[in-house]
Amino acid sequence: MQNGSRTVRLMLALVVGSSLSTAGPLAQGCADVCATFSLVKTDLTVDEPVFVNLTVANELDVPVAIDLGPSSYGNLRATLVRPDGRTETGGKPAGFRPPGKALLGPRSPYSALILLNRWFQFDQPGLYALDIELQAPLRTERGSALPYAVQGHVAINIGPRDALRLQRMCGDLADLAAHASSRVVALESADVLSYIVDPVAVPFLAGLLQPNMWFEQQAVRGLGRIADGPSVEVLTANLSSPSEDARVLARGALTTIRRTTKDPEIRQRIDDVLR
């Protein structure tokens, strides 16, 4: 997503209520190749999408190649220290996203948006400390490694859960998924919605499973992450969907919830429908 897709930037401005900074300020103080990770939005609450913006300024007179890896996340590694002191490590998330390769022209900027919820849940208020780096080296156009690190430390302060704000975000994402003129933006919107692991997201994810939609994978994954009673009910209803993909995905999600849930009532409910 070199220099950030304009349509995806507009989507995120809608969702997080903020516009993204460009690489201009970084380039002004950069003599060769400089990179930074920064929060797209600092006014954050429990369970909402948390984005960081990777910005790279190439002030060299030659092109620089960057490779974020499979699904635009595979070469990134992140460690998060939670407010309770526990440490988590980010792995490669599932998703439809394309490989994250780009060639930065001489004296050109680059930016990429990274949804941290693909790795971590921000499910309690407090201060989180993120360390993130690109493990694949920057390279010349011919493939030689360059000695410039792409890494950063980001402090993330999460406020208390705001159900009304989450509901508005879910509505904006679901509406954009349904009406976006670009398939890329529609899928990205549905994908971001699937990572809002909060009960308020359930009806919006259920809406993505309507017969005239094509977001079965994103919707079912989101419902499977929430894994509460209402999400199990939606998944159960989709065992009789006219879409074979929706039926298969719903059964797989219910099987996973059955294996991982600590709620005996949910486990019994799934047992009853999967017999």
- 127 and 196 inside one domain: no
Kindly state the average pLDDT of the residues 9-35.
60
Say if 114 falls within a structural domain: yes
Kindly state the average pLDDT of the residues 165-178.
93
Listed residues 107, 134, 159: the one ending a domain: 159
Nearest C-alpha neighbor of 232 from the set 269, 203, 181: 269
Tally of domains within the chain:
2
For the four alpha carbons of 90, 169, 4 and 219, in that order, the dihedral sign comes to positive
- 16 and 141 inside one domain: yes
- 155 and 229 inside one domain: no
Say if 52 falls within a structural domain: yes
- pLDDT tens, 219-268? 999 999 999 999 999 999 999 988 888 899 999 999 999 999 999 999 99
Range of the structural domain that residue 45 is part of = 6-159
**Residue 250 to residue 171: CA distance in whole angstroms:** 23
The pTM score is 0.88
Listed residues 105, 126, 159: the one ending a domain: 159
**Residue 201 to residue 186: CA distance in whole angstroms:** 17
- 195 and 133 inside one domain: no
- 226 and 115 inside one domain: no
Say if 133 falls within a structural domain: yes
Say if 1 falls within a structural domain: no
- 118 and 187 inside one domain: no
Task: Read off the tokens for 272.
Answer: 């009853």
**pLDDT score for 16:** 58
Burial class (CB in 10 A: 0-12, 13-18, 19+), 144: exposed
**pLDDT score for 74:** 86
What is the spatial order of strands in the sheet that 139-140 belongs to? 101-104, 64-67, 139-140
- 104 and 185 inside one domain: no
46 Cβ partners below 8 Å, 6+ apart?
Answer: 122, 123, 124, 125, 158, 159, 160, 161, 162, 198
- 110 and 234 inside one domain: no
Mean pLDDT of the chain: 87
CATH of the domain at 144: 2.60.40.10
Q: Has residue 2 got a pLDDT over 60?
A: no
Listed residues 110, 141, 159: the one ending a domain: 159
**pLDDT score for 213:** 72
Burial class (CB in 10 A: 0-12, 13-18, 19+), 275: exposed
- Which percentage of the chain shows pLDDT scores above 90? 61
Distances (CA, A) of 56 to 31, 36, 109, 264: 12, 7, 6, 49
Kindly state the average pLDDT of the residues 89-107.
75
- pLDDT tens, 115-155? 999 999 999 999 999 999 999 999 988 888 999 999 999 99
Check if the beta carbon of residue 270 is closer than 8 Å to that of residue 254.
Answer: yes
**Residue 50 to residue 44: CA distance in whole angstroms:** 7
